[in-house]
């Protein structure tokens, strides 16, 4: 029986028969593996017409055929292998014998693991992350703009919901631009295949877990991209989507079993209420809809309680790290995933790659909600999520309030102070990723009403606050727009396409103010690369006084004072209040201007401005 995912007009999930002929053996996933992995168990997904009627055998030293699982769909077998520590790299045949039919053979390979120091090295609070949507950054290879045979063949720069042609080669072509800016890590929205009929350029509707989207390049080019990043001292973060997959994916068009995805009597969205997961008084129905409801009609909700799904996803993510050497994972829509599975997934990934960094997207509404999902919060969860850090939306919102709000007991700069004061809820808040915008929200420059002074103040706080700072492509050149139906927050980076009127990858192509913004970010980002205080130093903050929020980053090597004036007028900051941190320091250097400061007792701060001073004795 072939189980096909279909969504008719009433959005009821049903099973049906595929009319297209399926090759006798068309997929084995993962297609190859590695000797010497910590987890000795490997489960192969095998797909082919009526493959369940085959008898499976193999003979290779150190590899044991532990079990063969038949499932609802006769086009699948799941094969359990046990790979001993003694198994050597090499190839061996896996035989599929069919009664009365032609035998099939798949030559499987165990490869040698990579032990390079740059492999899966991790992204930490020493780094600055730069988020890129590959389709919108730069078109380095026009030949792959339209790929025959794919469901979406349109290419239109006039539509924000069509593909624009950006690709991996375009990013490779501008790695020097990013390195010059001070970036140390690149996060791409998912680059794997999204073969949906329309508007799948964003990458979050996967249709093939083991294949880079051909409009971006190939698996080999992705591996080259990671290698070239490493050569330039840049790390790479891979964006993963556990929760959902594109409905046009081959595995959903011919599912192994109906329980591969969450089934509902009629189409049911998630309620998108993360509180339902943690509410001690909550209804089971609300929690189920939060976790099992679909994210979108074209994005089926994957059933992570299914053990075959668990093995498939976990092995796929391990495969990409070992294959390409990526340094970290960003986990999309983290609260919507099955909690127990995600903890197990993290343990297995960390076992193979101890230095790999992981952070989960948690666009929630309070510090307790964020902290609930993080590692070490066992009192509230009853188990350890194993999630080191999250996307810290609370810091983002608090910085906006400091920049745009009015002074009050819990408003204005006091909001930021109070949010940071709640860091006791995290096992380690420095593992959180802090940001001001991304591909799903209004751009930072628009959110401060294109006020250049506020822009610089916010960027200064982003690059000096505790945590791992993340920028969105184009923030450094004042790209703008709101998160509206037009989707303009995902506009192309000017200069990434042949024929662009201006090339803003170059100084000559930018306006005077854009160059000032670029130089401001570059100055502070490159200073941060050399400042251990800003990277890994401790943080001490003071209760805001007269509308000024002051904090220090410090270690044994240096101390940096950061002060933001949230007032609408120039303010004199009396530093005598900060004796605990400033004792012994008699002068300083303004990091942003390079000026030497000889009088630190009273510091004048212009309105809506952040100052960054490295203290000197």
Among the listed residues 127, 135, 196, 361, the single catalytic one is 361
Among the listed residues 274, 332, 423, 491, the single catalytic one is 332
Euclidean distance between CA atoms 231 and 236, whole angstroms: 12
Residue 128 CA to chain centroid, in angstroms? 13
How, if at all, do strands 433-435 and 389-390 pair?
Answer: unpaired
Euclidean distance between CA atoms 217 and 141, whole angstroms: 9
DSSP reduced 3-state for 396: helix
Cα–Cα distance list, 94 to 43, 45, 113, 208 (Å): 13, 13, 22, 23
Kindly state the helix (H) or strand (E) to which residue 582 belongs, with its residue range: helix 579-582
Catalytic-residue membership of 476: no
Residue 452 φ/ψ, nearest 5 degrees: -65, -35
Report which of 77, 79, 72 is spatially closest to residue 263, judged by C-alpha positions: 72
CB 268 within 8 Å of CB 293:
yes
- Please give the sequence-ordered ranges of beta strands (E in DSSP) within 234-341, or none if there are none: 235-240, 244-246, 299-301, 328-331
Kindly state the helix (H) or strand (E) to which residue 420 belongs, with its residue range: helix 413-421
Report which of 603, 537, 612 is spatially closest to residue 571, judged by C-alpha positions: 603
Torsion angle, alpha carbons of 548, 554, 557, 559, to 10: 10
Region of residue 531 (phi > 0: left; psi between -120 and 50: alpha; otherwise: beta):
beta
Kindly state the helix (H) or strand (E) to which residue 548 belongs, with its residue range: strand 548-554
CB 314 within 8 Å of CB 346:
no
Residue 257 CB burial class (10 angstroms; 0-12, 13-18, ≥19): middle
Q: What DSSP string describes 463-483?
A: TTSSSEEEEETTGGGT----S
Catalytic-residue membership of 361: yes
Residue 3 CB burial class (10 angstroms; 0-12, 13-18, ≥19): buried
Cα–Cα distance list, 70 to 67, 223, 466 (Å): 10, 34, 51
Euclidean distance between CA atoms 534 and 468, whole angstroms: 10
CB 231 within 8 Å of CB 180:
no
Cα–Cα distance list, 163 to 80, 193, 544 (Å): 40, 13, 47
Residues tagged active-site:
332, 361
């Amino acid at each position: 029986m072939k189980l096909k995912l279909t969504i008719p007009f009433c959005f009821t999930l049903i099973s049906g028969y595929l009319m297209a002929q399926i090759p006798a053996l068309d997929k084995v996933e993962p297609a190859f593996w590695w000797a010497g992995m910590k987890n000795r168990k490997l489960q192969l997904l095998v797909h082919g017409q009526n493959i369940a009627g085959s008898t499976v055998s193999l003979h290779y030293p150190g590899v044991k055929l532990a079990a063969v699982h038949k499932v609802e769909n006769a086009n699948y077998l799941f094969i359990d292998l046990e790979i001993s520590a003694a198994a050597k790299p090499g190839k061996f045949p896996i035989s599929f014998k069919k009664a009365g039919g032609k035998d099939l053979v798949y030559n499987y390979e165990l490869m040698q693991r990579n032990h390079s120091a740059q492999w899966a090295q991790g992204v930490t609070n020493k780094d600055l992350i730069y988020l890129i949507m590959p389709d919108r950054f730069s078109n380095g290879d026009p030949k792959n703009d339209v790929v025959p045979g794919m469901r979406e063949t349109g290419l239109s720069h006039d539509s924000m919901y069509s593909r624009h042609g950006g690709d991996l080669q375009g990013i490779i072509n501008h790695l020097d631009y990013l390195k010059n800016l001070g970036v140390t890590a690149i996060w791409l929205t998912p680059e794997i295949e999204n073969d949906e009929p329309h508007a799948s350029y964003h990458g979050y509707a996967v249709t093939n877990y083991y294949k880079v989207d051909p409009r971006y390049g190939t698996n080999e080019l992705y591996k080259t991209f990671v290698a070239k990043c490493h050569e330039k001292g840049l790390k790479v973060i891979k964006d993963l989507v556990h929760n959902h997959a594109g409905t046009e994916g081959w595995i959903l068009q011919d599912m192994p079993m109906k329980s591969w995805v969450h089934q509902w009597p009629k189409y049911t969205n998630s309620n998108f209420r993360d509180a339902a997961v943690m509410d001690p008084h909550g209804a089971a129905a609300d929690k189920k809809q939060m976790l099992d409801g679909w994210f979108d009609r074209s994005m089926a909700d994957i059933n992570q309680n299914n053990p075959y799904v668990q093995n498939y996803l976990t092995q796929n993510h391990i495969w990409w790290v070992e294959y390409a050497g990526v340094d970290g994972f960003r986990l999309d829509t983290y609260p919507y995933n099955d909690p127990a599975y995600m903890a197990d997934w993290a343990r297995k990934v960390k076992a193979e790659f101890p230095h790999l960094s992981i952070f989960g997207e948690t666009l929630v509404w309070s510090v307790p909600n964020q902290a609930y999902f993080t590692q070490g919060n066992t009192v509230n969860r009853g188990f350890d999520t194993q999630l080191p850090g999250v996307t810290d939306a609370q810091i983002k919102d608090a910085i906006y309030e400091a920049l745009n709000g009015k002074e009050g007991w819990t408003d204005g700069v006091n909001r930021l102070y109070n949010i940071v004061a709640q860091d006791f809820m995290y096992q380690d808040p420095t593992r959180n990723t802090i940001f001001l915008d991304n591909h799903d929200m209004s751009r930072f420059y628009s959110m401060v009403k294109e006020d250049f002074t506020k822009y610089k103040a916010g960027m200064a706080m982003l690059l000096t606050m505790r945590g791992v700072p993340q920028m969105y492509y184009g923030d450094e050149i004042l790209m703008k727009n709101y998160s509206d139906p037009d989707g303009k927050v995902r506009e192309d980076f000017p200069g990434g396409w042949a024929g662009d009127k201006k090339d803003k990858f170059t100084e000559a192509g930018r306006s005077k103010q854009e160059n000032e913004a670029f130089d401001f970010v570059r100055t502070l980002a490159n200073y941060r690369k050399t400042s251990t205080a800003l990277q890994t130093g401790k943080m001490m903050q003071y209760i805001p006084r007269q509308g000024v929020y002051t904090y220090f980053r410090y270690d044994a090597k240096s101390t940096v004072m950061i002060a933001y004036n949230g007032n609408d007028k120039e303010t004199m900051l009396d530093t005598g209040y900060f004796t605990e941190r400033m004792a012994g320091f008699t002068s300083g250097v303004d990091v942003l201007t390079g000026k030497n400061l000889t009088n630190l007792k009273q510091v004048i701060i212009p309105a809506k401005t952040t100052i960054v001073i490295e203290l000197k004795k």
